[in-house]
Amino acid sequence: MLLKITFTQQRRVRLAQGLWLMSWLAVMSGAFIFCLGVYLKTELLRRAEVMDNTEIHVVPNILMMVGLVSIGTNWVATRVCQDSLDASRFPRWKLLLMAWFTVAVLLCCLLLAVVVLSYALQGRLEESLKVGLRNGIRFYKDTDVPGRCFQKETIDRLQMEFRCCGNNNFKDWFEVQWVSNRYLDFTSKDVKDRIRSNVDGRYLLDGVPFSCCNPASPRPCLQYHLTDNSAHYSYDYQAEELNLYSRGCRQALTDYYMEMMNSTGPGVLSVILIQMSVLVSLRYLQTAVEGATALEDPEGESVGYLLEKGVKETFEDVKANVLNILKFAQVDPSAAEGSPGAEDAEKPADNTTEKAASPTPSPAS
């Protein structure tokens, strides 16, 4: 037996009581994990318009699923703790507990996967934001196009909330036409010259939307002619710190989401420790109660343990049981197809035997 401990009746009662409290703590931890997943999912959905894909959603999806399953699993553990004090009621949990341990181990593995994915998906999140923001800036002017009419409001609110400008920086706005044609005066010489000077016939500006302006700047916002030093008094495009947000929105959003997901790491690890404590304690309680029942002395001493055999032997037993289950689950097609033919072959043989056995009637004399 691996890590065996001797339990008296009093120690079994204390273990059951402590495990009951710990199981309810695990239930609340499951609720916390679920709420954490809902919050993260909501925040991701709020910015879905500036994301190219939803791969990062796997993290909150796993959190919500694990949270719900954890609530139900640990609630079952509280019932087991109550019935462990009654020798007539505890045996009914014997088969269910094997499934319970499997689910509990799977929950811990999924929570560890969440912690790993929170760090591993940072590159995919950045790429998704890069493409999504690029499309959002490109469709900024399409306020009269169905499906894109709210894109301008989304980008403006995003830049003001996260104090950012453009995808990488404010210069991204120089490369797109962000003013709709419906608001351009095509009789103006300046408008005509700008459109003719562009190969694609776009109206490009060395300017940015108002939402890029930093209200903390002492100078009034400069939105247009940002690269023209003569357009503004006492202004140097190369040397002066512009009164615009210097950070790009992709970096701002990546930092925001990664900080959020990284902050969930300690919480998730704490939940894993609680779940593992419940799993180990319940295993000791199960084996200790079953040992006392086997000795037909519910109030006597018994031995509790984690594994009845060594780790290697236990793994081999589990492997053999799984293979046996799979073996019995298989259907032999040749046997299934051959059985009707065999029955048909037996019927003529039986008829022949009956005819041979029946007496031949004697001729009438």
pLDDT of 223 reads: 87
pLDDT value of position 89:
81
Q: Residue 356 — very low, low, confident or very high, per pLDDT cuts 50/70/90?
A: very low
Residue 342: per-residue pLDDT: 46
**Average pLDDT score over the chain:** 83
2-52 confidence digits (pLDDT tens): 677 888 888 988 999 999 999 999 999 999 999 999 999 999 999 888 998
Q: Three-state SS across the chain?
A: CECCEEECHHHHHHHHHHHHHHHHHHHHHHHHHHHHHHHHHHHHHHCHHHCCCCHHHHHHHHHHHHHHHHHHHHHHHHHHHHHCCCCCCHHHHHHHHHHHHHHHHHHHHHHHHHHHHHHHCHHHHHHHHHHHHHHHHHCCCCCCCCCCCCHHHHHHHHHHHHCCCCCCCHHHHHHCCCCCHHHCCCCCHHHHHHHHCCCCCCCCCCCCCHHHECCCCCCCCCCCCCCCHHHCCCCCCCCCCCCECCCCHHHHHHHHHHHHHHHHHHHHHHHHHHHHHHHHHHHHHHHHHHHHHHCCCCCCCEEECCECCCHHHHHHHHHHHHHHHHHHHCCCHHHHHHHHHHHHHHHHHHHHHHHHHCCCCCCCC
What is the reported pLDDT for 318?
Answer: 67
pLDDT value at 153 more than 70: yes
Is the whole-model pTM more than 0.85?
Answer: no
Task: Using pLDDT thresholds of 50, 70 and 90, give the confidence band for residue 340.
Answer: low
Q: Over range 206-229, report the average pLDDT.
A: 88
- 90 — pLDDT class (breaks 50, 70, 90): confident
pLDDT tens, 267-321? 899 999 999 999 999 989 988 888 888 877 777 788 888 877 666 776 676 667 6
Most confident of 152-166, 312-326, 341-355: 152-166
Residue 243 has pLDDT above 90, yes or no: no
Band (131; pLDDT cuts 50, 70, 90):
very high
Q: Where are the domains of the chain?
A: 2-136+263-308
pLDDT 10s digits, 103-122: 999 999 999 999 898 888 88
Q: What is the mean pLDDT of residues 252-278?
A: 90
